[in-house]
Structure 1
Amino acid sequence: MDNHPISCYHLGHYFQVEGKQLQEQYKEHISDYSGWDQKDHAHEWMLFAGNLSSRLSIDETALSNGELYTIITNKEAKGRKGAIVAMIKGTVAEDIIGVLKKIPERSRKRVQEVTMDMAANMQLAIKRCFVNAHRVIDRFHVQKLAYDAVQECRIKYRWAALDLENQAVAQARKNKAGYQPEVLSNGDTLKQLLARSRYLLFKHHSKWTAVQSKRAELLFERYPQLKHAYELSLRLGDIFKVCKSKEQAFKKLAL
């Protein structure tokens, strides 16, 4: 277990030993946990300054019970041993700064690049702790903003369709008549079309199924602005895939 990524449960199952008991025995007696110098504060923060490199990344993640933790990783370790530089409970900038400043200033000044999302707290923490580092916004967070904007557009149209249908139902009741919504050629009503188009708008059109392609055709026929928003989000993704420099990307952004 010290050298290979195997859980106590699977190891116990192999040797016909109860996994939970093996885990407790390993933690309390076999491992160095009882004498670990970070044991007292590990529930709040952990720091592995020896894993620091010139290229880092910082992000937040939810672990047990939905608690948020800020994790700083060494990109050069590529997710293997030595990847975690620090793990801090919460996302408060001052808490992150307090832990990272325990790393000697000389070492922190060697950091050249930190990849992050657009959260202001992370920007502040990196600016204060790694003064010589270039702050790089993760492309996936930038693209997520574009995808979110497309979804907002779809949701706006869906609410409008629901309002129109509610008005039509109310009018039909007033006239003591039945209401039958328009059914499109693929079997969807308008509000169903807008609801069921959610996932296809996250995907590249080359990956659509035949059913999704038909749904997209009907959607974009009725909502050209949504089609334009979707195409812009794809073009943003293409910029990240094709462009190798900022100058090239800025030219492509002049849509």
Structure 2
Amino acid sequence: MSDYTSWDQLDHAEDHIVFPDNIGTNISIDETSLSQGELYTVVTNKAGKGRKGTLIAMIKGTDSETVKKVLRRKIPFQKRRMVKEVTLDMAASMGQIVRGTFTAATLVTDRFHVQQLAYDAVQEMRIAYRWEALGRENTEMELAKKVGRPFVPDRLENGDTHKQLLARSRYLLFKNKGKWTPSQIWRAELLFRYYPSLKQAYELAQSSGHIYHTVKDKGAGFTRLAKWYNEIEKAGFNSFNTVSRTVQQHYQTILNYFESRSTNASAESFNAKIKAFRSQFRGVRNVAFFLYRLSKIYA
């Protein structure tokens, strides 16, 4: 019933599908898991708005040389020169692909990936404290057992033990304090009283979002980002080492956000569409046929 057997990309679909006519001035590049954890590099046109004309390319793997070779071979140079801006995450391979393929484009590091790094650093500290609390509780349980008395853990004012306090604070540490529920406000008050370093780390993570929300130009962004970097360095938290190194390595592409305020949200949204489409197929048994059906909707 379909033209699948005569599809012009069928012979190489499992390795790559490319649609040069869908190229635009503003594009995104990301990776997605397609079948059994197999990664594909996905290039999309923001002007497509997640509909027909969105998909530019899907290429098996994330190796920069492999992806560059396919894009250069399948998309004419003049079309690649049309691209003026590419949003991407902080993976080194993605930057190499863009610089080697879309040579006239400005690279913009996605703001949400920068913020996520800071949030992850806070969670790393919370988890470390939780392991310490678990260790103390296990030691106390063993001591109680040795002296033949029941173990009764210390409870805080809201009824949590330290272990529970740290476990139950996970989600509030992702949220702006203005969005905390009354119980989260109480829990955060206790958390920051007993673990003041977590309060400092939480405020560092939140301030990254504040920079993106309030700064309107690249010059001010440069100043605010430099101050934030200095605050991270001054805090001296080991968990923030990755954050400071990443900011240092991607400083220019992070700052490019303040010129157009572009993000990789369209790519993340397209990845969500792929996952939803995949669930309709109950997985991907025939990769080529799956990509054929996907291209009929989005290419």
Identity %: 54
**Shift of residue 93, structure 1, vs aligned partner:** 1.3
Match for residue 114 of structure 2 among 142, 152, 163: 142
Taking the TM superposition and a 5 Å limit, the aligned residue runs for 1:134-213 are 134-213=106-185
Question: What is the one-letter code of the residue matched to 1:168?
Answer: E
Does 2:180 correspond to 1:221? no
Partner of 1:53: 24
Match for residue 66 of structure 1 among 37, 55, 61: 37
Provide the C-alpha distance between the structure 2 equivalents of 1:52 and 1:110, rounded to a whole number of angstroms: 8
After superposition, give the CA deviation of every residue in 1:17-53 in whole Å (9 maximum; x if it has no partner). Answer: xxxxxxxxxxxx2x33222110111122100000011
Q: What SS does the aligned partner of 2:156 have?
A: coil
- The structure whose Rg is larger is 1
Q: What SS does the aligned partner of 2:28 have?
A: strand
Provide the C-alpha distance between the structure 2 equivalents of 1:191 and 1:185, rounded to a whole number of angstroms: 14
Provide the C-alpha distance between the structure 1 equivalents of 2:132 and 2:16, rounded to a whole number of angstroms: 48
**Shift of residue 155, structure 1, vs aligned partner:** 0.7
**Shift of residue 242, structure 1, vs aligned partner:** 1.3
Q: TM-score, normalised by structure 2?
A: 0.72
Deviates more, 1:175-184 or 1:228-237: 175-184
Partner of 2:80: 108
**Shift of residue 223, structure 1, vs aligned partner:** 0.8
Provide the C-alpha distance between the structure 2 equivalents of 1:55 and 1:67, rounded to a whole number of angstroms: 27
**Shift of residue 181, structure 1, vs aligned partner:** 1.0
**Shift of residue 179, structure 1, vs aligned partner:** 2.0
Q: TM-score, normalised by structure 1?
A: 0.84
Does 2:73 correspond to 1:78? no
Question: What is the one-letter code of the residue matched to 1:84?
Answer: L
Partner of 1:123: 95
Deviates more, 1:149-158 or 1:241-250: 241-250
Deviates more, 1:174-183 or 1:160-169: 174-183
When the two chains are superposed, the root-mean-square deviation of aligned CA atoms in Å is 1.4
Q: What SS does the aligned partner of 1:201 have?
A: coil
Partner of 2:257: none
Q: What SS does the aligned partner of 2:50 have?
A: coil
Which ranges in structure 2 are unaligned for 5 or more consecutive residues? 229-299
Identify the structure with the greater helix proportion: 2
After superposition, give the CA deviation of every residue in 1:48-94 in whole Å (9 maximum; x if it has no partner). Answer: 00001111100011233332211000112221210111011221212
**Shift of residue 125, structure 1, vs aligned partner:** 0.9
Q: What SS does the aligned partner of 1:202 have?
A: coil
Partner of 2:295: none
Deviates more, 1:201-210 or 1:140-149: 201-210
Which ranges in structure 1 are unaligned for 5 or more consecutive residues? 1-28
Question: What is the one-letter code of the residue matched to 2:36?
Answer: N
Question: What is the one-letter code of the residue matched to 2:180?
Answer: W
Runs of at least 4 residues off by over 4 Å? none
Question: What is the one-letter code of the residue matched to 1:192?
Answer: Q
Q: What SS does the aligned partner of 2:41 have?
A: strand
After superposition, give the CA deviation of every residue in 1:176-229 in whole Å (9 maximum; x if it has no partner). Answer: 333211111211110011011111111111221111111111111111110111
